Amino acid sequence: MENSTTAATSQPVDHHQDKLRVRDLYKELGEAGLQAISQEFYDRVYADDEEPWFRDMFVVTAATPKDLAVFSQLSFFVQRFGGDPYYGGLQKDSTFIREVHSHFRVTPRGYERWMHHMKNTLGVVDLGPRGDEVREVLLNYFSAFGKSTINAKKDDEEGELRPRTLSNEVPTDKKKKKQKQKAEKEKKEKKEKKEKKTKKSSKKDKKGDQ
């Protein structure tokens, strides 16, 4: 009887949990969980033989060792998802990451391949007791942020591999083109000056003959 009374008067357990936000992900996954995501993701990227142009963006163009790529991404994840804001001694916010990506051509095709590997990564890594929610929040975030890094529209393999330069730099091929155009312009101007000089001299000679 006592047990039934206690059961009747006790409050029901509230199983409701607050909706996960991006900045809550570090609490859910911890550094080990985020490390697992980064490691699995780059294991897939660096072994991508189906789309070698994508793999080579990291291996050839950026020439980044895999362990450094993992650490760099982990640093960003920890800071963005609610951990130490200066993890690794450097603040890596969204602006910093966009600036890094602005040095390379990021096309819609490159974005899709990145998402392909991340979706597969999140399908095999242990995301904890709220795994489905964590996966949804991560994919929504990566999708939106990834689209914001797209800076080129041309979807060809050559375009994927060609590094962009800083805004205050001029690519080598453009430098050569400008130098050539400048040389041609100077040559043309010299020729025009010479022709004008010749015409003036010719007119003077004609006047002298008269």
Q: What is the pLDDT of residues 111-139, one digit of tens each?
A: 999 999 999 999 999 999 999 999 999 99
Is residue 175 included in any domain, yes or no?
Answer: no
Structurally, the chain folds into a number of domains equal to: 1
Single pTM value for the model = 0.64
pLDDT at residue 184 greater than cutoff 90 = no
Q: What mean pLDDT is predicted for residues 143-158? A: 76
Residue at 78 is within a domain = yes
Q: What tokens were used for 183?
A: 């040389």
Domain enclosing residue 107, as ranges: 24-149
Asked whether 33 and 89 are in contact (CB, 8 A), the reply is no
Predicted pLDDT of residue 153: 75
Per-residue pLDDT, averaged over 141-156, amounts to 82
* pLDDT of 44 higher than 70: yes
188-194-199 Cα angle (round to 5): 125
Does 103 or 146 have the greater pLDDT score?
A: 146
Report whether pLDDT(13) > 50.
Answer: no
Q: In which band, very low, low, confident or very high, does the pLDDT at 185 lie, cut at 50, 70 and 90? A: confident
CA within 13 Å, CB half, 90: 11
Q: Is residue 10 part of a domain?
A: no
User: Would you state the pLDDT for residue 35?
Assistant: 97
Over range 175-187, report the average pLDDT: 73
Contacts 24+ apart (CB under 8 A), 12-16: none
Q: Is residue 9 part of a domain?
A: no
- Pick the residue with more confidence: 201 or 165? 201
Q: Is residue 6 in some structural domain?
A: no
**Are residues 160 and 109 in contact, defined by beta-carbon separation less than 8 angstroms?**
yes
Q: Is 56 inside a domain boundary?
A: yes
Residues 6+ apart with CB under 8 A from 126: 33, 36
Give the CATH number for residue 64.
1.10.490.10
> Rounded mean pLDDT of 33-50?
97
pLDDT of residue 123: 97
